[in-house]
């Protein structure tokens, strides 16, 4: 049994672990409260049963979990069992919080520093002893683009919502010919910028791409801001914002239009 100890506020991230673990080990072997505790069950009794029967205890360390008395009770009880050798205690840091003093001598998985995919792969490695991770599409995205229009200027702000993204390279995809458009990254002394180029998306849509990027990481609280100024009377049909997840490989990220 694999026990996932977390705070409910962190479920957007924890659910990604639960789903991957279920795919590999089966739902019956994962204690994730969303499916392990059903209406009518005693919550404390179910938690106790889960901890007693688990062989791997995953403690997701965050400001939310560290502030929760319930989670504190879970991980401290599990730590006592780990000291006796009956379970393996695996801390996973999901934000910039410091590790509790009791865990400073324990090697932890650093999702905040390494990213979601790496952290999931490391967790599977620890539990199974081999790399069973295969990349699949999920609905979760750490990066989100917020777009605000102010006259002729479109401001595209890319934010990291949960953890650091080490690569800050983005592609903006338009249907316009971009020869008269002006691009910039305000507040940045130096940034990378390509010439506009024609491209076709995987779904067959044709248009023009523009690469913009920084040498720093995108971290929570420190977004990447890109500005696009269009010629008078020309609309900007910005269709897609893509993130360079690895060298030359791009993945679209969610976009939200901000009004007012």
Domain boundaries, the chain: 2-128, 143-258
Residue 41's pLDDT is 65
Q: What percent of the chain stands above pLDDT 70? A: 91
The domain defined by 2-128 carries CATH number 3.40.50.10140: yes
- What would the pLDDT profile of 6-16 be if each residue is shown by its tens digit? 999 999 899 98
Contact 55, 30 (CB under 8 A): no
Query: What is the per-residue DSSP string for 40-66?
Result: TS-HHHHHHHHHHH-SEEEEEESHHHH
- Write down the pTM of the prediction: 0.54
Q: How far apart are CA 134 and CA 166, in angstroms?
A: 21
Residue whose C-alpha is closest to residue 237's, from 145, 143, 147: 147
Residue 136 has pLDDT above 80, yes or no: no
Task: Flag whether pLDDT at 232 surpasses 90.
Answer: no
Confidence of residue 45 (pLDDT cuts 50, 70, 90): confident
Which CATH fold topology does 143-258 show? Immunoglobulin-like (2.60.40)
pLDDT tens for each residue of 173-209: 988 788 788 999 988 888 999 998 898 887 788 888 8
Q: How confident is the model at residue 236 (pLDDT cuts 50, 70, 90)?
A: low
Residue-wise pLDDT for 70-116, tens only, equals 899 889 888 888 888 888 898 999 998 888 888 877 778 888 888 88
Mean pLDDT on 200-229: 89
**216: DSSP letter:** S
**pLDDT beyond 50 at 134:** no
- Distant-in-sequence, close-in-space partners of 157: CB < 8 Å, separation ≥ 6: 145, 146, 147, 148, 223, 224, 225, 226
- Res 218 pLDDT > 90: yes
């Amino acid at each position: 049994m694999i026990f996932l100890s977390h705070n409910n506020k962190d479920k957007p991230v924890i659910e990604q672990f639960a789903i991957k673990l279920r795919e590999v080990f089966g739902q019956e072997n994962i204690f994730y409260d969303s499916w392990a505790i059903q209406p009518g069950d005693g919550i404390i009794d179910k938690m106790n049963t889960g901890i007693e029967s688990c062989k791997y205890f995953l403690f997701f360390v965050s400001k939310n979990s560290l502030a929760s008395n319930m989670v504190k009770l879970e991980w401290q009880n599990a730590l006592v069992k780990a000291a006796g050798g009956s379970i393996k205690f695996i801390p996973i840091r999901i934000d910039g919080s410091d590790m509790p003093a009791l865990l400073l001598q324990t090697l932890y998985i650093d999702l905040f520093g390494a990213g979601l995919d790496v952290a999931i792969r490391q967790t599977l490695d620890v539990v199974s002893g081999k790399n069973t991770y295969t990349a699949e599409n999920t609905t979760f995205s750490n990066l989100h683009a917020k777009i605000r229009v102010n006259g002729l200027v479109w401001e595209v702000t890319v934010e990291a919502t949960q953890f650091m993204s080490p690569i800050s390279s983005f592609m903006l995809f338009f249907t316009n010919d971009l020869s008269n458009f002006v691009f910039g990254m305000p507040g940045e002394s130096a940034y990378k910028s390509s010439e506009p180029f024609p491209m076709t998306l995987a779904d067959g849509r044709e248009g023009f791409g523009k690469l913009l990027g920084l040498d720093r990481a995108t971290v929570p609280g420190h977004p990447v801001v890109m500005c696009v100024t269009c010629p008078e009377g020309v609309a900007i049909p910005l269709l897609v914002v893509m993130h360079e997840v690895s060298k030359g490989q791009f993945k679209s990220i969610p976009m939200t239009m901000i009004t007012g």
